[in-house]
């Protein structure tokens, strides 16, 4: 791990800079990640331009002295910028990050993803560490339809090292989608055609790791699927969206038993759904959802039995653009989880219906009568004082409190040479603290030691 002294600070290029007045600079445009720094006097402003990742700290201190900045000012400024999440470390992130930096084409392709991660992960070197950690992860996608294959390709393209798609049968003309199965795949075995799409999305997937945990995607050879215990996440994207909209607890029973996190995504008629993200024993599962629906509508099981037993229509509704949205959102939620964050799907299902196409979040809590036990685990946590909104709960370090410059009324011009960072509190941050803690704990347990060692 790099110490502060070895870091090569770089002001995160992903955050656009703008001067609000002569001595106040705003980093970032979008409110969730924007930060205001001030007051910044002329010398400090000139010094900021040196933070481009080419200089180590000792050189920066020397430059600071040359520019007439007071003793200790450079270190204080660097510390503040680090605290504000504005500084990256051009050499940080550990050995896996170093390997990724040297990878040429791979890192060039992933640069926009890296820049995005630098906005999310506030720690210097954190973005590169996360991106490198993705290379050791394995995700299984169940369902090679318009949602599943597109999401699988996105996960691979975003740097997930092993993405395996499973489905039966052969590609039908209506399985084809932009970013997913191509028209020329019609008639091929679905799983093989889907794996080829995944390989094409990330032709530079990582080599086999020691211990046989990561397998190369060798073209033209049947790839054995990863064993279930090695999976970081399973994306359940059934071609028949009924099984994502009203998932059958039996189809995920193996995942619940094995403690494997899984995420549902699909299109039912003209409604897209992403979630729940099930962390077995911690967050609501398909069984919880079924119980909740039965509570609200006692005839629900009767309807469900008819929907599931009816003769399957040859073509199932699934608008191309809607399916693409669902695939994208599912991949984004999956990546957030794999990166150690708490996406909203852990506590709610996101749904969207044509033609209004407004995303809605339907809150989902573990059900007390569901055998998954998530309700009791959550209750125990609460009893142990680890409940949401516990005043002592610090926000996870990777989650920055929102800085919304226009609503922050602090006077940034009060003192010279000691710029302050203005933050406002994200009203949702506290509610997410518990989910974040749970996700990090479950992730540590299921994603595996190998990944954890890479992320440190």
Binding residue for Zn ion, selected from 372, 433, 442, 446, defined by CB under 5 A? 372
Q: Which is nearer to Zn ion, 174 or 300 (CB)?
A: 300
CB of 254 to Zn ion, least distance (A): 15
Q: Does 202 bind Zn ion (CB under 5 A)?
A: no
Which of these ranges, 70-78, 182-190, 212-220, 370-378, lies near Zn ion under the rule CB under 5 A? 370-378
Q: Which is nearer to Zn ion, 173 or 368 (CB)?
A: 368
Binding residue for Zn ion, selected from 180, 206, 281, 287, defined by CB under 5 A? 287
Binding residue for Zn ion, selected from 36, 107, 152, 370, defined by CB under 5 A? 370
Rounded Cα distance between 371 and 151, Å, is 30
CA 141, distance to chain mean position in Å, is 16
Which of these ranges, 30-38, 232-240, 286-294, 425-433, lies near Zn ion under the rule CB under 5 A? 286-294
Rounded Cα distance between 426 and 406, Å, is 14
Q: Which is nearer to Zn ion, 200 or 369 (CB)?
A: 369
**SS3 state at 18:** strand
Q: Which is nearer to Zn ion, 214 or 370 (CB)?
A: 370
Kindly state the tokens that stand for 344: 């909203």
- Tokens 């970032």 sit on residue: 28
SS3 for 141-181 is EECCCCCHHHHHHHHHHCCCCEEEEECCCECCHHHECCCCE
CB of 287 to Zn ion, least distance (A): 4
Q: What is the DSSP string of 335-349?
A: HHHHTT---GGGTEE
Binding residue for Zn ion, selected from 201, 285, 331, 335, defined by CB under 5 A? 285
CB of 380 to Zn ion, least distance (A): 15
Q: Does 288 bind Zn ion (CB under 5 A)?
A: yes
- Contact between residue 237 and residue 142 where contact means Cβ atoms under 8 Å apart: yes
Q: Which is nearer to Zn ion, 296 or 389 (CB)?
A: 296
- Contact between residue 436 and residue 63 where contact means Cβ atoms under 8 Å apart: no
Rounded Cα distance between 96 and 130, Å, is 10
Q: Which is nearer to Zn ion, 250 or 315 (CB)?
A: 250
Q: Which is nearer to Zn ion, 176 or 285 (CB)?
A: 285
Q: Give the residue from 446, 423, 273 showing the smallest Cα distance to 348.
A: 273
CB of 288 to Zn ion, least distance (A): 3
CB of 296 to Zn ion, least distance (A): 16
H or E stretch at 244: helix 242-245
Binding interface with Zn ion (CB under 5 A): 285, 287-288, 370, 372
């Amino acid at each position: 791990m790099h110490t502060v002294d070895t870091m090569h600070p770089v002001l995160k290029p992903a955050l656009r800079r703008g001067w609000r007045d002569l001595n106040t600079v705003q980093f970032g445009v979008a409110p969730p990640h924007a930060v205001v720094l001030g007051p910044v006097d002329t010398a400090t402003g000139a010094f900021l331009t040196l933070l481009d990742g080419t200089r180590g700290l000792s050189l920066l201190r020397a430059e600071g002295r040359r520019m007439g900045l007071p003793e200790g000012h450079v270190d204080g400024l660097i510390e503040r910028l680090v605290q504000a999440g504005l500084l990256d470390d051009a050499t940080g992130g550990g050995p896996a990050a170093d390997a990724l930096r040297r990878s040429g084409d791979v890192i060039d392709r992933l640069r926009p993803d890296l820049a995005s991660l630098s906005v999310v992960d506030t720690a210097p070197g954190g973005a590169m560490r996360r991106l490198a950690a993705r290379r050791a992860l394995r995700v299984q996608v169940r369902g090679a339809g318009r949602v599943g294959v597109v999401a699988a390709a996105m996960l691979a393209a975003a740097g997930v090292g092993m993405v395996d798609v499973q489905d039966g049968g052969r590609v039908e003309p209506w399985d084809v989608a932009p970013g997913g199965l191509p028209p020329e795949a019609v008639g091929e075995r679905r799983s093989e055609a889907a794996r080829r799409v995944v390989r094409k999305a990330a032709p530079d997937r990582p080599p086999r790791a020691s211990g046989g945990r990561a397998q190369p995607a060798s073209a033209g050879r049947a790839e054995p699927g990863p064993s279930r215990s090695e999976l970081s996440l399973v994306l359940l994207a059934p071609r028949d969206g009924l099984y994502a909209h009203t998932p059958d607890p039996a189809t995920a029973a193996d995942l619940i038993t094995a403690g494997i996190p899984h995420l549902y995504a699909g299109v039912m008629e003209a409604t897209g759904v992403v979630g729940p993200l099930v962390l077995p024993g911690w967050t609501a599962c398909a069984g919880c959802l079924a119980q909740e629906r039965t509570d609200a509508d006692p005839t629900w099981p009767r309807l469900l039995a008819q929907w599931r037993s009816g003769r399957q229509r040859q073509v199932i509704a699934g608008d191309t653009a809607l399916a693409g949205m669902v695939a994208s959102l599912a991949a984004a939620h999956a990546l957030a989880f794999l990166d150690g964050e708490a996406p909203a799907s852990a506590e709610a299902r996101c749904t969207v219906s044509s033609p209004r196409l407004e995303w809605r979040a339907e809150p989902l809590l573990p059900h007390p009568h569901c055998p998954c036990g998530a309700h009791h685990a959550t209750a125990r946590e609460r009893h142990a004082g680890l409940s949401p909104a516990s005043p002592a709960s610090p926000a996870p370090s990777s989650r920055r409190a929102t800085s919304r410059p226009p609503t922050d009324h602090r006077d940034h011009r009060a003192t010279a040479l000691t710029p302050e960072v203005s933050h406002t509190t994200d009203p949702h941050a506290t509610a997410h603290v518990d989910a974040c803690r749970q996700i990090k704990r479950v992730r540590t347990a299921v994603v595996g030691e190998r990944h954890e060692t890479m992320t440190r």
